[in-house]
Structure 1
Amino acid sequence: MFEQFKTGNPIWVYYVDIDSGANLIVPQLLRGRIGEEYLVDKKKFPNYNFVKAEGALRGAFDMTQRSIKLFYRKQSWGEVQDIDMYLALDAPTVICDTVAGMPVGQPLPQGITIKAFQRVATKDGEFWYEIGSDQWIKYKKMHVVDNPFGNKEKIPSRLANQLTVLRLNNVKATIDYIPGKSVDVYDAPYGNPVDKVADGQAVTLIGKLSDNDQLTWYEIGPEQYVSGNYVKIDEEE
């Protein structure tokens, strides 16, 4: 008889950039009694368009465990495509933190070949390529080439060969990403995704690769690397 006064399971609501996976605001927590109705606010964000939602935006609280995600895309982005492409750089190339974003680290040197994972065609006719987590280059003074390393040999890109390698003594760390999501694990820096590791999972760092301490990858196992953007070190020896 007191069921109507019992609190239902809370509902987490996420507002997410569909392309980067980043939260646009802090996740919202909805609470209410069993049977009480809820309505998720389809918020508007400057320079973003709503794309889709996963989960019912209207309903009633019960004892079901659930989360609701609303996905948005930057207004300037047109076509977004996952790719497996190699780019040969004909000139030094600036790396940006996002499409048409801010420069990060040192420019990539002329003459190297790098692998791209995603391509964005902006509405003003530009093409941008993702070459790593939060690392984008604009298609300018470069050209597409066939896989220069062959399909059978597992050889890291020339960019990875230029990174400084530091061996670590089993440093304890934690993956710091988005609650409920996972980051990719690669077989080499700028290599191929081979696994995933969840947010909040403990990892052991056995190596660190960095380019002037700007672009960082951590080795967490044999042929297993994660971006340093999503690693929180607990302690270093």
Structure 2
Amino acid sequence: MHIFDRLKQMLHGLNSPDPQNAATATGTPNVTATTSDQAPMVNHTEALILVHHLDATGHELQAPDMIAGYVGDEIHLPAVNITGYHLVNINGLTRWFTKPQAQIVLTYERQAGQPVWAYAYDIDQRQLIGLPTMTRGPLGTAYQVMAPTVAGFKLLRSVGDLTGEYTTTSKTVLFFYRNQNWHQTDLSTGYVQIRQLTPVFPNPGATSTTYLTTLQPGSVYKTYLRVQLNDGDTWYNIGDNQWIPETQVQLTNGNQLLLKLPRGYRTRDAHQVQQTGIVSFVPGKQVHTYLEPYGRYLTTVTHGEKVILTERLVDDNRVVWYRIQNRGYLPGRYLTDLDPADSLF
């Protein structure tokens, strides 16, 4: 039922001498109405009502509507729909024309726009730091998102519109940060070989550790992140919160480790494919490809890039690898939207 039909029922109840016929108005705008016990006599006196459409500050949202009739006639309000606004109050509404000139004032409130969400990410550890924040305001009004201050981190860049207007669609802004003591990082650097007895530290630059593990000389470890600190020291990450200083290692191609593995480790379930996929990493960043699974770096591919896949294999750890045409191997976890679709294993 249209809003004005419901209002007409309300007014009918107000004009009825029987209070039991009064209509409830739950969910309808506030109405200030002129009421009487019965309709005035139709006397053929011409009557005109101006219907004003105002916002909360009293400004006209559109030209007034004119309703013409005769004193005693029933009033029929026009259907009104003002984009971005909803009706909150009606003043001066009557069921009938009661005098030659009158006015009805409809007051509208600006609808709320969809929210703008802001997220703060550690770009190196690829994790959320701090709680997401949300801003919201009236539809069509301006917004401005400010980068939050995160203790111990420095802002690198943002992705998304920092300014704009609230619309009917929600928006997202991503802020990327780096540890303030880190000067430069390199994701997944390959393998290192331990030179001498080496303790494992909880973070780059640490001078003490609670880890009981000591790495043995000659042992080889896969590294996942290399960090150069502001003081020039370089550290390697070999697992969750496990770091070793560059002074204790030397780079290696990992052949010592690979030769100890069964030959099938690198070739199990290998077969040719004709597929495409989308690289999924960190927006605006690149991920390394490998000359062979767990081998040396070959090149990089960019987040969001569409690539052609020519080979698929699964190692003994059930890690899926794909060969990208002329660009080396990439773990399957960095690929989405495979066409044709493929199962994980």
TM tier relative to shorter chain: 0.5 to 0.7
Of the candidates 239, 244, 249, which is equivalent to residue 132 of structure 1?
A: 239
Counterpart residue type for residue 333 of structure 2? D
Q: In the superposition, relative to structure 1, how do residues 154 and 124 fare at CA in structure 2: closer, same or farther (>3 Å)?
A: farther
Instruction: Name the counterpart of 1:23.
Output: 128
2:179 paired with 1:74: yes
Q: Give unpaired runs (5+ residues) of structure 1.
A: 157-185, 199-220, 223-237
| Higher strand proportion | 1
Contact between 1:55 and 1:69, CA under 8 Å: does it hold in 2? yes
Q: In the superposition, relative to structure 1, how do residues 155 and 133 fare at CA in structure 2: closer, same or farther (>3 Å)?
A: farther
User: Normalising by the residue count of structure 1, what TM-score does the alignment of the two structures yield?
Assistant: 0.59
Q: Give unpaired runs (5+ residues) of structure 2.
A: 1-81, 86-109, 267-293, 295-314, 321-329, 337-343
2:62 paired with 1:3: no
Instruction: Name the counterpart of 2:157.
Output: 52
Report the CA distance between 1:121 and its aligned residue: 0.9
Of the candidates 104, 107, 113, which is equivalent to residue 213 of structure 2?
A: 107
Number of residues of Structure 1 aligned to a counterpart in Structure 2? 171
Contact between 1:86 and 1:144, CA under 8 Å: does it hold in 2? yes
Following superposition of structure 1 onto structure 2, how do residues 1-237 of structure 1 map, counting pairs within 5 Å?
1=82, 3-4=84-85, 5-101=110-206, 103=209, 105-110=211-216, 111-148=218-255, 149=258, 153=263, 155=265, 188=317, 193-195=331-333
Larger-Rg structure: 2
Report the CA distance between 1:127 and its aligned residue: 0.6
Cα displacement string for residues 172-209 of structure 1 (whole angstroms, at most 9, x for unaligned residues) = xxxxxxxxxxxxxx9649998431699xxxxxxxxxxx
Cα displacement string for residues 157-185 of structure 1 (whole angstroms, at most 9, x for unaligned residues) = xxxxxxxxxxxxxxxxxxxxxxxxxxxxx
Contact between 2:192 and 2:222, CA under 8 Å: does it hold in 1? yes
Counterpart residue type for residue 71 of structure 1? F
Report the CA distance between 1:154 and its aligned residue: 6.7
Q: In the superposition, relative to structure 1, how do residues 96 and 44 fare at CA in structure 2: closer, same or farther (>3 Å)?
A: same
Higher relative contact order (CA 8 A, sep 6+): 1
Report the CA distance between 1:107 and its aligned residue: 2.2
Contact between 2:319 and 2:332, CA under 8 Å: does it hold in 1? no
Report the CA distance between 1:84 and its aligned residue: 3.5
Report the CA distance between 1:13 and its aligned residue: 0.6
Mean alpha-carbon deviation: is it higher for 97-106 or for 11-20? Answer: 97-106
Q: Measure the CA separation in 1 of the matches of 2:157 and 2:246.
A: 29
